[in-house]
Amino acid sequence: MYLYHFGLKELPFTLTPNTSYFFGLPSHKEALQVLTTALKTGEGFIKVTGEVGTGKTLICRKLLNELPDHFGLAYLPNPNLSPEELRREVAAELGVNISGDVNQQEFTRLIHERLIQINRANKSVVLIIDEAQALPNESIEALRLFTNLETESRKLIHVVLFGQPELNDKLNLPELRQLKQRITFSYELKAMDLDQLKQYVKHRMTVAGFKGGEAFNDRCCKKLYKATKGTPRLVNVLCHKALMLAYGEGKSHVEHSHVVLAIKDTEATFVSSHKLLWFSWSLLIIIAIAGASTYYLYPEVWA
């Protein structure tokens, strides 16, 4: 790979949400501030949404790593679970020993007892769910019932939902309106602007050990922004490919041509979709012109 060529200690643009590369984009900082404030005030439901690739899982990992000691933690990374599976997963995360077949009431009682036990130790439980848009509607309702567990002064469990915009659509369903009313704090992640993208790329190269100045010049960054609209995941994909191309040509820095080739090789870029749209319109115009020409040159065909 290109590690030694660029003097890097590790790959700077992997898709794994590595918190050591956390840059602190304004949108990410605001999301963490909202989460911290909401948890300190003891709110029941908190929601963070964002388009694919905007950094939800990274913020989720950052929150997991930085939760104060007085918070107990339950984490569900794959929430496509039935209500019974959801209850069992939550019970396991809380250290509740469930043996044999128990009904919903017994589940709730055992979890309630465990939450009270944690509360007596002056701790609050935070249930963090990533990719929450994958939760079935029935499981969302079961999740709401968890937040009914409380003392006279505070909730025994707080729920943080990370999800794609489809989560908002799901919560707008009439049958889920009770849960939507309980979401007291929410935040929507935003993509990077051009200046943030430049700083983001430089930051990741620096953390990886690059000492050669600007690996991606302004022209390259402008092209990256045009192709990704500031989506961090897409930026990572293109930068990784551009570095491989630069390495293949023995270049010490990424050039504009490398970024262009990386974009052409990546279907998810916005440039690719725009070119497809342009091609579609061009094809329609050609067909229309051909049809008009046929009409005027050979009117008998249309008779």
pLDDT score, position 151? 67
pLDDT score, position 294? 46
The two tokens of residue 52 are 């694919």
pLDDT score, position 141? 86
- Report yes or no: 77 and 130 within 8 Å, Cβ to Cβ: yes
Higher-pLDDT residue of 192, 142: 192
pLDDT score, position 287? 44
Alpha-carbon torsion, ordered 270, 187, 59, 169, to 10 deg: -60
pLDDT digits (tens, 9 = 90+) for 47-72: 999 999 999 999 999 999 988 888 88
**Is the predicted pLDDT of residue 285 greater than 50, yes or no?**
no
**Is the predicted pLDDT of residue 170 greater than 90, yes or no?**
yes
SS3 content of the chain, % helix, strand, coil (to 5): 55, 10, 30
Maximum distance among all alpha carbons in the chain? 91
Residue 79 CA to residue 290 CA, distance in Å, equals 54
- Report yes or no: 125 and 115 within 8 Å, Cβ to Cβ: yes
Burial zone of 49 (CB within 10 Å; 0-12 exposed, 13-18 middle, 19+ buried): buried
Residue 1 CA to residue 23 CA, distance in Å, equals 24
Burial zone of 56 (CB within 10 Å; 0-12 exposed, 13-18 middle, 19+ buried): buried
Helix H or strand E segment including 201: helix 194-207
Which pLDDT band holds residue 153 (cuts at 50, 70, 90)?
Answer: low
Which pLDDT band holds residue 271 (cuts at 50, 70, 90)?
Answer: low
pLDDT score, position 107? 80
Alpha-carbon torsion, ordered 294, 295, 301, 302, to 10 deg: 140
pLDDT digits (tens, 9 = 90+) for 61-116: 999 998 888 888 899 998 899 988 888 888 889 888 777 677 777 888 888 888 88
pLDDT score, position 288? 46
Which pLDDT band holds residue 152 (cuts at 50, 70, 90)?
Answer: low
